[in-house]
Amino acid sequence: MAREIVVGTRDSALAMWQTNWVVDNLRKLNPDYTFKIVSMKTQGDKILDVALAKIGDKGLFTKELEFAMLRNEIDLAVHSMKDLPTVLPEGLKIGAICERHDPRDVLVARDGILLKDMPQGARIGTSSLRRTAQLLKYRPDLQIISLRGNLNTRMAKLERENLDGIILAAAGIERLGWADRITQRIPFEVCLPAVGQGSIGIEIREGDEEVSRIVDKLNHGPSAAAITAERAMLKKLEGGCQIPIGALGRVEGDRLTLEGVVASLDGKELLRSRVEGPASEAASLGVALAEKLLDMGALEILKSVRQEFE
């Protein structure tokens, strides 16, 4: 009888889409196994009336799945890579980083107006400090409105709360079939994405060689190198997913270019730099970029951001 692999996921529409995509591909690549999906709510899904940065960001959308894995209730967990903390619980590791979708942020505007043409003081919804800081650097006049909830909820709030636009990740909105709602793909010059944005990650138990072999078939080398570099940068800066830090790794051939940004909440202080080197040295490049940003004054900016939430 085929062994059943139990796959854990959050129960949001996007998380379920991502998990079904992973499982469909794992079935094709591993026909000798059967797969069962188990969904659960995480802390980040339950607390919707508080800014994420005030709850704390270590594993907000992953912890419950990780506990289930450590208790052997599930064999692997599917995450958005941008939700996965840079330090994983002891006994767990990343088994695969799937091929990255478009990592850009996008604008969904009520009246179809581009970001640069929005009226003075336009109301823009986002829950991300990273997006907020970079948008305010670009357009200091914008009013940023805190926006929590899943994609369906955020889309509904665009009309209900009289917002001029909302900022979302391209990957999520396209995976749920709403690409036609995108007004603008925001250029990287304006807004660098979250670390890992656009990629699906598979977390597994260390030492589980069987599951490791099964999921490794979905690992995408160039995406894994780019995101490994981004995560190394984030870890060195001791930033979490709710801190105004953005990064983008890009691999061409055997070369990796990594850009990073650290900004104050109001966008007035914004440090941005880049490094380039062999893709095989992804983690070292991430550390090198973090050190470059720290030399430029990133630590002072990050300290002031954290004090705002203490």
Residue 239: pLDDT over 80: no
Q: Model confidence over 96-105: pLDDT tens digits?
A: 999 999 999 9
pLDDT class for 57, splitting at 50, 70, 90? low
Q: Which residues constitute the domain of residue 214?
A: 1-98+199-219
Give the Cα separation of 102 and 199 in Å (integer): 9
Cα angle: 271, vertex 94, 55; to 5 degrees: 55
Q: Which residues are catalytic?
A: 83
Average pLDDT over residues 253-278: 97
Q: Apex CA 125: angle with CA 123 and CA 130, to 5°?
A: 115
Least confident piece of the model among 140-149, 175-184, 269-278: 140-149
Q: 31-40, 46-55, 133-142, 235-244: which has the minimum mean pLDDT?
A: 46-55
Return d(Cα 166, Cα 125) in angstroms, integer: 4
CB atoms within 10 A of CB 72: 10
The CATH number for 15's domain is 3.40.190.10
Give helix 151-160 / helix 13-29 axis angle, nearest 10°: 150
Q: What is the CATH number of the domain that holds 238?
A: 3.30.160.40
| Whether pLDDT at 48 is above 50 | no
- 209 and 232 in a single domain? The answer is no
Question: In terms of DSSP bridges, do strands 165-169 and 105-109 run parallel, antiparallel, or are they unpaired?
Answer: antiparallel
Q: Quick one: 28 exposed, middle or buried, by C-beta within 10 A (0-12, 13-18, 19+)?
A: exposed
Helix (H) or strand (E) holding 247: strand 245-252
pLDDT band at 63; cut points 50, 70, 90: confident
Residues 214 and 227 in one domain: no
Q: Which of 31-35, 196-200, 282-286, 306-310 has the lowest mean pLDDT?
A: 306-310
Give the pLDDT score at 59.
59
Residue 262 inside a domain? The answer is yes
Query: Are both 215 and 268 inside the same structural domain?
Result: no
Same domain, 74 and 116: no
HSE-up of 213 (CA within 13 Å, CB side)?
A: 5
**pTM summary value:** 0.92
Determine the pLDDT at residue 148: 76
Q: Do 171 and 305 share a domain, yes or no?
A: no
Q: Quick one: 178 and 255 in the same domain?
A: no
Question: Is the pLDDT assigned to residue 277 strictly greater than 50?
Answer: yes
Residue 70, helix vs strand vs coil: helix
**What's the CA gap between 250 and 272, in Å, rounded?**
16
Spell out the residues 6+ positions from residue 3 whose beta carbon is closer than 8 angstroms to its own: 32, 33, 34, 210
